Amino acid sequence: MSLLFKNLRVHQVFGANTDVGKTLLTSALVRASAALKNEVFYLKPVSTGPMSDADDEHVKRFAGAYKDAVRTRCLFRYDDPVSPHLAAQMSADRKGEKTAIFPTDSTFVTSVANHIRQCASESRKSAHMYVETAGGVHSPTLSGTTQLDAYRPLRLPCILVGDSKLGGISSTIASFEALALRGYTVDAILLFKDSYYKNYEYLTPYFAERGIRVDSFSTPPPRHEDIDANFKVTEAFYAEMVLEDTKEGGIYDLVKHLDAYHEKRLDELASMPQRTLDTVWWPFVQHGLNNEPQNVNVIDSAWGDYFTVFNGHHTPRPTSSHSVLEPQFDGSASWWTQALGHGHPALALAAARAAGRYGHVMFPQATHAPALRLSERLVRDGPGQGWAARAFLSDDGSTGMEIALKMALRTFAASRPERPREWMKELGVLGLKGSYHGDTIGAMDACEDTGVYTCEWHHARGFWFDPPTVGIRKGRTVVALPGAMGGDEASTGSLVQTYDIQSRLDTPLAALYREHIERTLHKLSDARLATLVLEPLVMGAGGMIFVDPLFQRVLVDVARKLLEVPVIFDEVFVGLHRLGLKTTSEVLGVYPDISVHAKILTGGLVPLAATLANSKVFKAFWSREKKDALLHGHSYSAHAVGCEVANETLDILERMERAGQWDEAKAAWAANEQSGTVIWSLWAPSFVDMLSRTPGVKEAMTMGTVLAINLEDHEAGYESHSAQMVLSSLAQAVGSIESGTSAAPGGGPFSVHFRTLGNVAYFMTSLNTPDATIREVEDRIWAALNSKTLN
Amino acid sequence: MSLLFKNLRVHQVFGANTDVGKTLLTSALVRASAALKNEVFYLKPVSTGPMSDADDEHVKRFAGAYKDAVRTRCLFRYDDPVSPHLAAQMSADRKGEKTAIFPTDSTFVTSVANHIRQCASESRKSAHMYVETAGGVHSPTLSGTTQLDAYRPLRLPCILVGDSKLGGISSTIASFEALALRGYTVDAILLFKDSYYKNYEYLTPYFAERGIRVDSFSTPPPRHEDIDANFKVTEAFYAEMVLEDTKEGGIYDLVKHLDAYHEKRLDELASMPQRTLDTVWWPFVQHGLNNEPQNVNVIDSAWGDYFTVFNGHHTPRPTSSHSVLEPQFDGSASWWTQALGHGHPALALAAARAAGRYGHVMFPQATHAPALRLSERLVRDGPGQGWAARAFLSDDGSTGMEIALKMALRTFAASRPERPREWMKELGVLGLKGSYHGDTIGAMDACEDTGVYTCEWHHARGFWFDPPTVGIRKGRTVVALPGAMGGDEASTGSLVQTYDIQSRLDTPLAALYREHIERTLHKLSDARLATLVLEPLVMGAGGMIFVDPLFQRVLVDVARKLLEVPVIFDEVFVGLHRLGLKTTSEVLGVYPDISVHAKILTGGLVPLAATLANSKVFKAFWSREKKDALLHGHSYSAHAVGCEVANETLDILERMERAGQWDEAKAAWAANEQSGTVIWSLWAPSFVDMLSRTPGVKEAMTMGTVLAINLEDHEAGYESHSAQMVLSSLAQAVGSIESGTSAAPGGGPFSVHFRTLGNVAYFMTSLNTPDATIREVEDRIWAALNSKTLN
């Protein structure tokens, strides 16, 4: 991940095209940096073409009087002057190898990062480093991935060498935008002052308006046939550009500008913790307990499953050669939102595409392709398949649930036309203790009042059952019954068997559930219960409570029969593959009347929610009078950016499923079970088994991307900090800088960011998190757990 | 705006660079289209370089046997083979003119559009048109705007000619991304099969993965010195590519692919109304009153202040030569969200930048640059200047208001520690009748229950004053008092004087307000009123009610003195320059304790809200116990995309203000008034005056970007449809196709989309809507009003 050193200022040099003078200008920068008394490192990770012409050779040759201060390096070298991915192939062909052995993107980026770290550790004083890419910004690297994407995990500050030839205005701007689209920061744009095309005259104000400095330089001399003569004119060119005497103006100004930006970058990062504590009001945080700068997580960027975080304010006295930016595994999938990791280029492009085509366009009585396509796929092919008729789009899970509640209450009211409006004001919901549906007051009112997550206006409206739960204890899958049902542990076979509802519907446990629910509901006959609201399978915020699915199924059946109420599935957290399931109905064997989806919906990029409803619910609002309508809306309802990103996300997830991306994990969990089971996890069965047998661990549980570890604790619940304390060592970056190998992109030490819910620690991945990463995180969890004496 | 014809399939040909073979491949396309019995139009809007080499000449010359079916045209021609903006300047220099007279972007695009419309009307049967750009995608047009941006209003379907040379993979992908970022759709990518660099081998699967077809063709012959010989080899090249006999394969497949996409585009648009009625549940819409396909507004794209909408389902029998896409002025600024118009490239790039750098990263206990920068500027330099201490970010105005209410209730409760928790459950708000704060239930509970905007769980908690209002009646500014205060009209001088609160604080009217409020509050002493909640100056959703600001000011003063409650300003609609004011405190002369901002905050792109609070409010939640915290949060709280776009928006608005963008409008409204007044409008004073004197208009009112027209109506209120009926003729596109002149980009007829609130019609612009557009919309409103016999 990103590297930033106090003693070593690193820039990556991209070109707007091939042959725009990248090496010439980088050479001049190297020489000027050296003239200003810096150690200078030059890295050309991949070089193609004859050695005599190699860029690293050129840089060394023209370092002038500063040869000793300049160290050059090339990591991968190929003879043919073509794109690296072709050069490697041609070289393999010549050797008679069938296919070239390319480094993977991960190996490649780790090589580059290791070299940079090496340079930082070898540099005794202030040093500069220039990492020159090959060709244009999107020229392929050895693996075939284009450079922008391949180098992205390192996200080095950039210099873009613009194109001064005819057409160069276009390629320079387009290259800049491609860099921006990957989240790179461009510190300067350089180009030659071609006196005929004058691109610099156009580009300087163009980029000034966008806050980017353009430096332009005299055009280089034409290449001389004679080697000595060529050396002479070239040396004269550099001597002219990098003046010996003044060490001011021109390229020196640029070097100082880059120095200043480097300092600014470090200062900005160092200032952010206190500034944040001074101005920001965090969600769900007690500022009185979180007012130390060293505990502010400064996220400089993110890529894949990792944040890049600043460590300068909490790592004890890092040496100046340690990177002040380090990778941090995003262990909660950024509050349960990530499906495909951070900075995914396809999602960024989808956002850009919709922003460029529509911006936002208002939705009532209107339609646009991204919203219509999303609605249709959710209703017909997605979680609504088989039951839903309509999609209502809103902004987040909480608004999606408010809409669901309004739908359900009206549907119930419409079926009791004899009741007056005042009677309807006291309608309540039926649910489970531990539910959470969001923080707007309507969503809160659908949950019991536990004294937390609350505010003065919270009126808990309804009744909530204490549900039986599923967990793995000492290797055994166990259903724990609540006190009201005897409080025992029931053995329900394997995990797969426990989630095979059909086979459990006639068991004595099902009968116990049915009887308990029926008895309770009879007692509540005056309660005006108007809807059943469930988070299917797992109650997330309530403490990653895996509810016995049989209990939820029986509850749905009984509520429908006895109360005749619509059923809401709050799938904001559990839906859209989070639990490895396309829909939770696959397990429960029943459909809801209304369901709510968010979080993963946009792949974890921007807020968007969908409330799906069947036609009965829709009809409860249908009339010839405006006042009967569902008079709910948000200005950005169905915003095009969100819908386009959601469609892109669902496209990618569908492709992943078709390609069998999760088949290995599915196979690991189905071992010794009948085929066709739907329960699986990206976390290894052996690891979960081991966890569940660890002293101090009450139970472990997993499904899809989610792993929950329930620690034994006397003071359980939301206010407990036990899990946070037990696993606190995860916050330290671990790994050898020298070896450079770790699951983090670019290698190197990484820490693990994780969230807890009282005595429950949970971990969550994206749906494309690499196996190797998960295995390494498992090892880290294991080590953290065992570094503490539990209990 | 976008053009799409049934009889004429138009494609715009962009190049990944200059000299990539755009003209060669377009020539071949023209010839193949003609060979398949289509009329063919070729347009080169701008040509640079010698006439003998001109692209339109080339296309005509090599149309083979089909010369008669091919018509070519160039609109602007310059001799120098350089970028158009330079060529025009060089031509002017030669003529001794000091500066070249460039067409503006608007004139330029209208010329192109007029030519295209002309071709459509002249084409009797199926026809194809190719519009070839100059240079690369971002090469400047005559005005200096780059082509992507200059042609964007037309948003023609694109063909991208890729670059087959070394570096061409990069320029092709970067050009594609630049097109995507402007919301263009690329139907095909063409390039030559260079056998050495083999870019086509790389690019074909690369783009297949992104759903884009790549067609590759044999490389053209080298240019011959001898003119005749050159003609011969070139003709042979075309004859080879565009085979006479089979008319299948190769380029013919491409032509058929483009035909198929054209048909698909038409079919998709035609199908969207019914599909939307079948699947979508609209916000705030009674589907029982809106179930006719012809009333579904199909928005194909948007740019600036205009939607591009499909008219094929409601225009009576359009001829096939009429564009089925037409411009529609977005008269409600897309539900009050737009600040800078649709498809703004700087906002799209900001969204892309943050998506690429962060995706979304979770916010509790964390920080990232876009969120921190936004929080600081809102608190210190923006609406929080002078009073706010903290920013709490959420997803929309409704969630922002829920947060504000939770803050206010707790602040009140914390100041009454002697009261038990149960007492606090019945806290209420003090507000105004006609208030609206969003549709989540907590936000609803802060409003009175009027029977609309409601649901079963709505419990109106508080008391609401009927406020005096400001309007312009027959040219006079008038304050209308509610019945409880006598129901009279009071004359308060000019509009500017009416909003000069300081000068009115000691008037008898102020005393009347104070006395009325005090008397009422004394009667309400048991009501547990805990906060005063106001939409400063204008209550939007309640009916664009301009409340007498003096009343609001007195209310704040009295409520603070008598009730000691925190004050919430709901500025979701009125804030951030919507009313031409940086903050509403400028007028009211008092600060709130809490304020809420959304809508314009992101320039109208994605949902985001900010709740600002002063330090007293923040301290009410500060303790050493988690349960005392403001336990509210949304997964996407402070999402990076929203924050980055918000920062970009505020940067642009600040630059506009510094540049005096609104000075002319300000001057028009300040005429005959003392300088330094803050009340102004983008709508012309003379127009508003005229409106207010129109029979059937009860009153008109305007401020900033907002214009409200209150029509006399017996059945007033939200359920009334009178304003919609009176102005219904605005929905028809008006303007001459032939003249091609209108305020819409590209000229041509346009309709006006507008929203009403019962008997109030309102119109709203962005903050950068051109004067000419507003003047034309004023004319259209005037014509629509006068086409009906009012009353």
Q: What is the pLDDT of residues B140-188, one digit of tens each?
A: 998 899 999 999 999 999 999 999 999 999 999 999 999 999 999 999 9
What are the C-alpha distances in Å from A507 to residues A304, A467, A501, A513, A520? Answer: 45, 17, 10, 10, 20
Backbone dihedral region for residue A486 (phi beyond 0: left; psi -120 to 50: alpha; all else: beta): left
- 3-class DSSP assignment, residue B765: coil
This model of the complex carries an ipTM of 0.97
Q: What angle do CA A475, A480, A485 make, to 5 degrees?
A: 160
β strands within B269-340, DSSP E? 297-303, 306-310, 325-330
Lowest mean pLDDT: which of A528-532, A597-601, B245-249, B648-652?
Answer: B245-249
Judged by CB atoms closer than 8 Å, whether chains meet at B359 and A347 is answered as yes
Amino acid B743: pLDDT: 86
Please, what's the b/e burial string for A429-453 (b: 16 or more CB within 10 A of its CB; e: otherwise)? bbbbbbbbbbbbbbbbbbbbebeeb
Q: What is the CATH number assigned to the segment(s) A345-469+483-656?
A: 3.40.640.10
What are the C-alpha distances in Å from B583 to residues B529, B572, B787? Answer: 26, 12, 39
Nearest chain A residue (CA) to B394:
A283
Ranges of CATH 3.90.1150.10 domains, chain A: 681-786
Question: Could you tell me the two tokens for B326?
Answer: 């037409």
Judged by CB atoms closer than 8 Å, whether chains meet at B457 and A442 is answered as yes
Give the best-scoring range by mean pLDDT among A308-322, B228-242, B441-455: B228-242
Instruction: Assess whether pLDDT exceeds 50 at residue A791.
Output: no
pLDDT tens for residues A270-319? 999 999 999 999 999 999 999 999 999 999 999 999 999 999 998 666 67
Q: What is the CATH number assigned to the segment(s) B8-266?
A: 3.40.50.300
Q: In what order do the strands lie in the sheet with A297-303?
A: A751-753, A325-330, A306-310, A297-303, B366-367
pLDDT tens for residues A252-265? 999 999 999 999 99
> What band does A80 get if pLDDT is binned at 50, 70 and 90?
confident
Average pLDDT rounded to a whole number, residues A673-691: 87
Between the two ends of chain B, the Cα-to-Cα distance in Å is 37
Fold adopted by A681-786: Aspartate Aminotransferase, domain 1 (3.90.1150)
Residues from chain B that touch A611, judged by Cβ atoms under 8 A, are 281
pTM of the model: 0.97
Lowest mean pLDDT: which of A190-204, A625-639, B48-62?
Answer: B48-62
Helices (H), B152-249: 168-181, 199-208, 227-241
Token pair 């959420």 is found at B394
Number of Cβ within 10 Å of residue A721's Cβ equals: 15
Q: Could you say which of A173, A336, A443 has the minimum Cβ distance to residue B138?
A: A173
- Residue A684, min C-alpha distance to chain B (Å): 26
Strands A751-753 and A469-473: unpaired
Q: Could you say which of B82, B395, B641 has the minimum Cβ distance to residue A396?
A: B395
Residues from chain A that touch B413, judged by Cβ atoms under 8 A, are 456
Amino acid B789: pLDDT: 46
Residues from chain B that touch A160, judged by Cβ atoms under 8 A, are none
Average pLDDT rounded to a whole number, residues A518-531: 95
Token pair 């929610």 is found at A609
- Give the architecture (CATH level 2) of B396-621: 3-Layer(aba) Sandwich (3.40)
Instruction: Assess whether pLDDT exceeds 90 at residue A531.
Output: yes
Judged by CB atoms closer than 8 Å, whether chains meet at A83 and B169 is answered as yes
> What band does B104 get if pLDDT is binned at 50, 70 and 90?
confident
Amino acid A320: pLDDT: 76
How far apart (Å, rounded) are the C-alpha atoms in residues B336 and B572?
9
- Residue B519, min C-alpha distance to chain A (Å): 27
> What band does A104 get if pLDDT is binned at 50, 70 and 90?
confident
Judged by CB atoms closer than 8 Å, whether chains meet at B439 and A632 is answered as yes
Token pair 């569940």 is found at A692
| Among B102, B174, B109, B182, CA closest to B148 | B182
Best probe of the B interface among A19, A189, A357, by most B CBs < 10 A, is A357
Amino acid A422: pLDDT: 87
- State the amino acid at position A510 in one-letter form: A
Ranges of CATH 3.40.640.10 domains, chain A: 345-469+483-656
Nearest chain A residue (CA) to B622:
A288
Strands B462-465 and B428-432: parallel
CA dihedral (A453, A456, A459, A464) in degrees, to 10, reads 30
Amino acid B99: pLDDT: 67
Amino acid B100: pLDDT: 66
Question: Could you tell me the two tokens for B294?
Answer: 């012809």
Length of chain A in terms of residues written: 791
What's the mean pLDDT when you consider all of chain A? Answer: 93
- Residue A242, min C-alpha distance to chain B (Å): 29
Q: Which helix (H) or strand (E) holds A213?
A: strand A213-217
Judged by CB atoms closer than 8 Å, whether chains meet at B353 and A181 is answered as yes
Residues from chain A that touch B611, judged by Cβ atoms under 8 A, are 281
Q: Which helix (H) or strand (E) holds B345?
A: helix B345-357
What are the C-alpha distances in Å from A32 to residues A7, B115, B219, B286, B356? Answer: 18, 54, 44, 70, 32
Nearest chain A residue (CA) to B286:
A629
Ranges of CATH 3.40.50.300 domains, chain B: 8-266
Residues from chain B that touch A388, judged by Cβ atoms under 8 A, are none
What are the C-alpha distances in Å from B431 to residues A723, B459, B470, B512, B556? Answer: 45, 15, 18, 18, 10
> What band does B715 get if pLDDT is binned at 50, 70 and 90?
low
Amino acid A371: pLDDT: 98
Q: Give the residue, A87 or A581, on which the prediction is more confident.
A: A581
Residues from chain B that touch A178, judged by Cβ atoms under 8 A, are 173-174, 177-178
Q: Could you say which of A170, A210, A599 has the minimum Cβ distance to residue B136?
A: A170
Interface A-B: count of C-beta contacts within 8 A: 615
Number of Cβ within 10 Å of residue B99's Cβ equals: 9
Judged by CB atoms closer than 8 Å, whether chains meet at B632 and A439 is answered as yes
What's the mean pLDDT when you consider all of chain B? Answer: 93
> What band does B739 get if pLDDT is binned at 50, 70 and 90?
low
Q: Could you say which of B181, B185, B367 has the minimum Cβ distance to residue A280?
A: B367
Token pair 């090589």 is found at A111
Judged by CB atoms closer than 8 Å, whether chains meet at B634 and A396 is answered as yes
Phi, then psi, of A711 in degrees rounded to 5: -95, 145
CA dihedral (B533, B538, B541, B543) in degrees, to 10, reads 130
Query: Could you tell me which residues are beta bridge partners of residue B308?
Result: B301, B327
**Residues sharing a CB contact under 8 Å with residue A523, sequence separation 6 or more, in sequence order:** none
Q: Give the residue, B104 or A600, on which the prediction is more confident.
A: A600
Fold adopted by B681-787: Aspartate Aminotransferase, domain 1 (3.90.1150)
Best probe of the A interface among B212, B606, B619, B753, by most A CBs < 10 A, is B606
> What band does B94 get if pLDDT is binned at 50, 70 and 90?
confident
Judged by CB atoms closer than 8 Å, whether chains meet at A379 and B279 is answered as yes
**Residues sharing a CB contact under 8 Å with residue B418, sequence separation 6 or more, in sequence order:** none
How far apart (Å, rounded) are the C-alpha atoms in residues B730 and B578?
24
CA atoms within 13 A of residue A13's CA, in its CB half-sphere: 31
Residues A746, A110 contacting (CB under 8 angstroms): yes
Q: Give the residue, B272 or A67, on which the prediction is more confident.
A: B272
Residues from chain B that touch A605, judged by Cβ atoms under 8 A, are 355, 359-360, 639, 641
Amino acid B360: pLDDT: 98
- Residue B630, min C-alpha distance to chain A (Å): 6
Average pLDDT rounded to a whole number, residues A602-625: 97
What percentage of chain B carries pLDDT values higher than 90? 82
Phi, then psi, of A642 in degrees rounded to 5: -60, -45
pLDDT tens for residues B237-251? 999 999 988 888 899
Judged by CB atoms closer than 8 Å, whether chains meet at A86 and B198 is answered as yes
Length of chain B in terms of residues written: 791
Phi, then psi, of B595 in degrees rounded to 5: -140, 155
How far apart (Å, rounded) are the C-alpha atoms in residues A252 and B241?
54
Give the best-scoring range by mean pLDDT among A331-335, A485-489, A673-677, B490-494: A331-335
- State the amino acid at position B584 in one-letter form: T
Query: Could you tell me which residues are beta bridge partners of residue A392?
Result: A611
Q: Could you say which of A275, A375, A639 has the minimum Cβ distance to residue B607?
A: A639
pLDDT tens for residues A342-352? 999 999 999 99
Ranges of CATH 3.40.640.10 domains, chain B: 396-621
Q: Could you say which of A185, A299, A457 has the minimum Cβ distance to residue B367?
A: A299
Nearest chain A residue (CA) to B362:
A334
| Among B677, B662, B675, B666, CA closest to B496 | B677
Residues B617, B569 contacting (CB under 8 angstroms): no
- Residue B495, min C-alpha distance to chain A (Å): 30
How far apart (Å, rounded) are the C-alpha atoms in residues B764 and B785?
17
Fold adopted by A8-265: Rossmann fold (3.40.50)
Amino acid B790: pLDDT: 45
Check the CA dihedral A41-A42-A44-A50 and report its sign. negative
Lowest mean pLDDT: which of A509-513, A772-776, B717-721?
Answer: B717-721
CA atoms within 13 A of residue A250's CA, in its CB half-sphere: 21
- Residue B274, min C-alpha distance to chain A (Å): 10
Residues from chain A that touch B102, judged by Cβ atoms under 8 A, are none
How far apart (Å, rounded) are the C-alpha atoms in residues A350 and A647?
9
